[in-house]
Every structure is written in structure tokens, then in C-alpha cells.
Amino acid sequence: MKATTPTERSSLGYAFAALLNFGFLLCVNAHAVWRPWLGGVVTDAFGQVLWAINLGLVVQILGDLLLSVTSPRPLQRFIELLDSVTGVIGAVVFYRVFPLELSRFGQFLPMVAQLALFAAVLAAALAVVINFARFMAATRGDDRKPLPPPSAPLHT
């Protein structure tokens, strides 16, 4: 068996991720088929959030396909930034529309679900800030510089 190089492994990983996301894209867009199985938990308003979910998945698929061919560090960081931006868009749209009917499970679960979704919006927004900083560091070439040890003097 031939050993694979790290570049071949990461290229295969990106291609596999693109394939999985494509399958998920197909499943999400078949919501008219699977939504009735959930007994009304996912409402008809799901169609209103579908564009945001599709946007995020298409950006991930295209990014993974591009990274399966070439993956310089600045490009990886830029695609991570785009993924996090579309994640914020999807989370905000899902939070605003909230296409779930959870009231039959009591008053507590809908409130917890919306609170968790709000936390996801905040986490996704934080991911945008972090990925923007990582992208800027990668474009400057600072991405691979190790941090100094904690005992190192602050001024060098």
C-alpha cells in the first residue's frame, strides 16, 4: 500500500467534505419529503430559511473543491472567513424566522431553543472576527510564527 503525503490527505479530505456537503444540500432541499415525518416540528416557514442554508452549503462546497486542488494558507483562511460569514447569515435568518414549532413540548423548550440559537448567532459572529484576524495574519505572513513562551520579555 502506497503511503499518502499530507497534501494528498488534505486534498482528499476537502473533496470528501465537498461530497458530504453536497449530499446534505440535497437532503435539506428535499424538505417537502422529510418535513411531514417530523410531525409539524419543522413548519412551512422552513422554506424562508432555505436560501440562507443553501448559501452556506454552496460556499462550503465551492471552498472545499477549490482547496482540494490548491490550498495556500491565505486561501484557506479566506475560505474559513467566508464560511463563518455565511454561518452568521444562516444563524441570524434561522433565529429571525425560527421555523420550529416546539410549544407542544411545553413552554420551556421553545425558550431554551431560541436562547441556544441566539448563542449560536453570537458564536458565529465571534468566529467571523477570529477568522478575519487569522486571514489578515496569513496575508501578512505572520500565520506560522510561533508565540513566544510566557516567560519571554514583552519587548524584543
Residue 11 belongs to domain spanning: 7-140
Average pLDDT estimate for 50-62 = 97
pLDDT above 80: residue 77? yes
In a domain, 156, yes or no: no
Higher pLDDT, 8 or 72: 72
In a domain, 106, yes or no: yes
In a domain, 43, yes or no: yes
pLDDT tier at 4 (50, 70, 90 boundaries)?
very low
pLDDT above 80: residue 140? yes
In a domain, 96, yes or no: yes
Reported pTM: 0.80
In a domain, 1, yes or no: no
Q: What is the pLDDT of residue 97?
A: 95
Identify the CA nearest to 94 among candidates 60, 56, 62. Answer: 56
14 by Cβ neighbours in 10 Å (0-12 / 13-18 / 19+) ranks as: buried
pLDDT above 80: residue 1? no
Number of domains in the chain: 1
Q: Burial code of 17-47, b = ≥16 C-beta within 10 A, e = fewer?
A: bbeebbeebeeeeebeeebeeeeeebeeebe
In a domain, 110, yes or no: yes
> How does pLDDT run across 112-138, given as a tens digit for each residue?
999 999 999 999 999 999 999 999 999
pLDDT above 60: residue 14? yes
Average pLDDT estimate for 12-18 = 94
pLDDT above 90: residue 153? no
Average pLDDT estimate for 133-149 = 76
Which long-range contacts does 121-129 make (Cβ < 8 Å, 24+ apart)? 121/88, 121/91, 121/92, 121/95, 124/84, 124/87, 124/88, 124/91, 125/88, 127/84, 127/87, 127/88, 128/81, 128/84, 128/85, 128/87, 128/88
Coil, strand or helix at 100:
strand
In a domain, 47, yes or no: yes
In a domain, 29, yes or no: yes
**For residue 20, what is the enclosing H or E element?**
helix 6-29
Alpha helix positions (H), 30-45: 31-34
Higher pLDDT, 156 or 90: 90
Average pLDDT estimate for 53-60 = 97
pLDDT above 90: residue 65? yes
Average pLDDT estimate for 64-78 = 93
